[in-house]
Chain A
């Protein structure tokens, strides 16, 4: 692409575009995790789900020649992982955090196992909409080239925010997450609700993975995810289990993730790897700032083991 010289303005512009590009998987994983955690369980295995979703989406897209069956496959694979986590955690003394770690390793291993033949071929990308077509500056056009999944993710965040407050299902999930005893008294089975909530969470994480392999970075490699699934879990806590907060936090993380590449694009190469660590450092700082030893977090589901 021919680049017009717009000097240091390139950095914030590249970060804006980067934030939109990089944040999409965060949006989906964190919304999925928000649903799961609202029901009182934590699924750390979404990192593995993300990688497996990326692999299955890419494989199916290569085989069918269209990105959409790939997206569906990723969602289904994520659903299976989520349902498995939800099912196995209902047994007494089975720890949801530990199972999440195991699924993280298992999902990654399985993705590498089946993904080996798909490292070479190239798959069709998910479409993007050119919101920057009005501008003549290529950097602006690049920054405002927005993928449809980002828009779907934004709409989903608003919908979930509304649904948690105003729908029967939203209320059921929240009751189960706040007090399993109260839920049982209402005649609800907490295990079933959590099974479904974890399943839906997994499906959304799978879609996040599909975005990674089918749009940005847009290919399947074994290094495709570097902890996005895990950072999304931390992000949900920061967002106080609020879907709109998840969306905003995902954008912030996306911007931090885009810092390194943005600086590199204007010729700053010194300390590139340290900028690469920015999202992790940001997550850690946010976790430190928002945690407190003396009080439980506002808005935290009462049944969540991580905040007890």
Chain B
């Protein structure tokens, strides 16, 4: 995180300190690409060993995974659809992470965002569609934002550990959804799978023209770009990065750390709530148990793989969307459990976290080590 604090744009560096400075800048940037990519490769090699150990062919597995995720226009669209909620779920982890918080309860915000959106869509039945869709988005984001904002507030004002509290809140949110969907909000017509009343067709969000991918993908990418701008180009983002580096230093500087933490966590939860709203409005058509599909948990992995950089989240979310999408094909073609994908994700996660230890260690990437040797 510290690397981005001290990275002015290329032009200033070239003007001020010339070629050497540009080289140093490039080296530091290259590190941020090479180490995660190398970790990804190592993770995939380790997973190959695992696949070999259970008596299957890793080559065939990766080939199947490629075919299921990115091999055809159909599978690419499928991956993009699955990547869309991951973009927003990952932001729910990445934004608080820039403040030094580890929030892992995005699943709860997704679930509540979906329920709130469904309730609004049903209650306002008959109103103009753009208004209802807008309010569903606002309501979903507000529900998710409140949920994670509370986690941030508890962290700052009561020193309650945010990692544990956010996950507890996620379990509470899922229980609350089950209660609402099976009780007060239940559509009596939904027998096997308790759901809220289905949204009218005019309130559903459709696909991007020419694709079988809903507009949620565009919303997610926009959210990532806006988050990047917020963190890198605004004074709030700057303040957040300072507070993430050292809370006391930020407080000494007179930064309002409390509102900053609550604001960032609420925004993060708002994005996750929006993901829930999109699942309801674009995919499910009503709120039901399918909202707790694990996007919140995969989002944690996406954010860590992207090292909490909102722009890096875009390719990583689509990659993991593809891995998710290939799960079914792997199950059918290779006779492996659907949890195979979870094992791969877990391995990648561990290797990526382990790779943190290598930052700054390689001479090639670390200008501080150049000086010492010359």
Is A227 within 8 A of B171, CB to CB? yes
Is B345 within 8 A of A95, CB to CB? no
Is A273 within 8 A of B179, CB to CB? yes
In the bound complex, residues from chain A placing their C-beta under 8 Å from that of B359 are 93
Q: B66 contacts the other chain (Cβ, under 8 Å)?
A: no
Q: Mark A46-77, 1 if CB is under 8 A from B, else 0.
A: 00000000000000000000000000000000
**How far, in whole Å, are A107 and B175 apart by their CA atoms in the complex?**
24
**How far, in whole Å, are A245 and B181 apart by their CA atoms in the complex?**
38
Q: A158 contacts the other chain (Cβ, under 8 Å)?
A: no
**How far, in whole Å, are A273 and B168 apart by their CA atoms in the complex?**
15
> Which interface class (under 10, 10 to 19, 20 to 34, 35 or more) fits B?
35 or more
Is B165 within 8 A of A94, CB to CB? no
Stretch at the interface among B14-22, B135-143, B201-209, B348-356: B348-356
Q: Mark B325-341, 1 if CB is under 8 A from A, else 0.
A: 00000000000111111
Stretch at the interface among A174-182, A208-216, A275-283: A275-283
**How far, in whole Å, are A89 and B176 apart by their CA atoms in the complex?**
36
Q: Which of A94, A95, A105, A280 is B342 in contact with, Cβ under 8 Å?
A: A105
Interface residues in A88-143 (C-beta closer than 8 Å to B): 88, 91-95, 97-99, 101-103, 105-110, 112-113, 116
Stretch at the interface among B151-159, B214-222, B310-318: B151-159
**Tally of chain A residues near chain B (CB < 8 A):** 46
Is A291 within 8 A of B160, CB to CB? yes
In the bound complex, residues from chain B placing their C-beta under 8 Å from that of A306 are 161, 163
In the bound complex, residues from chain A placing their C-beta under 8 Å from that of B304 are 98, 102
Q: Mark B98-117, 1 if CB is under 8 A from A, else 0.
A: 00001010000000000000
Is A284 within 8 A of B168, CB to CB? yes
**How far, in whole Å, are A209 and B341 apart by their CA atoms in the complex?**
23
Q: A230 contacts the other chain (Cβ, under 8 Å)?
A: yes
Is B159 within 8 A of A293, CB to CB? yes
Is A287 within 8 A of B353, CB to CB? no
Is A291 within 8 A of B354, CB to CB? no
Q: B357 contacts the other chain (Cβ, under 8 Å)?
A: yes
Is B343 within 8 A of A293, CB to CB? no
In the bound complex, residues from chain A placing their C-beta under 8 Å from that of B340 are 113
Instruction: Decide: A94 near B354, CB < 8 A? Known: A109-B342, A277-B176.
Output: yes
Q: A231 contacts the other chain (Cβ, under 8 Å)?
A: yes
Instruction: Decide: A101 near B164, CB < 8 A? Known: A276-B175, A291-B159.
Output: no
In the bound complex, residues from chain B placing their C-beta under 8 Å from that of A110 are 339, 342-343, 346
In the bound complex, residues from chain B placing their C-beta under 8 Å from that of A280 are 168-169, 171-172, 175
Identity of the chain B residue whose Cβ is nearest the Cβ of A111 in the assembled complex:
B339
Interface residues in A276-301 (C-beta closer than 8 Å to B): 276-277, 280-281, 283-284, 287-288, 291-293
Q: Which of A93, A94, A113, A292 is B159 in contact with, Cβ under 8 Å?
A: A292
Q: B183 contacts the other chain (Cβ, under 8 Å)?
A: yes
In the bound complex, residues from chain B placing their C-beta under 8 Å from that of A167 are none
Q: B347 contacts the other chain (Cβ, under 8 Å)?
A: yes
Is A273 within 8 A of B182, CB to CB? yes
Is A102 within 8 A of B349, CB to CB? yes
Q: A106-B343, A280-B168, A306-B161 are in contact. List 13 more A-B contacts (CB 8 A).
A: A88-B353, A88-B354, A97-B163, A101-B102, A101-B163, A102-B301, A106-B350, A230-B168, A231-B168, A276-B175, A284-B168, A291-B158, A291-B160
Residues on A facing B (Cβ under 8 Å): 44, 88, 91-95, 97-99, 101-103, 105-110, 112-113, 116, 226-227, 230-231, 233-234, 237, 270-274, 276-277, 280-281, 283-284, 287-288, 291-293, 306
- What are 20 residue pairs bridging A and B, where the CB atoms are less than 8 Å apart in the complex? A91-B354, A94-B356, A101-B102, A101-B163, A105-B297, A108-B342, A230-B164, A230-B168, A270-B183, A271-B179, A271-B183, A277-B176, A283-B168, A284-B165, A284-B172, A287-B160, A288-B154, A288-B160, A292-B159, A293-B158
Residues on B facing A (Cβ under 8 Å): 102, 104, 154, 156-161, 163-165, 167-169, 171-172, 175-176, 178-179, 182-183, 297, 300-301, 304, 336-343, 345-347, 349-350, 353-354, 356-357, 359
CB-based closest 8 A-B pairs: A106-B346, A109-B342, A112-B339, A277-B175, A102-B349, A273-B179, A273-B178, A91-B357
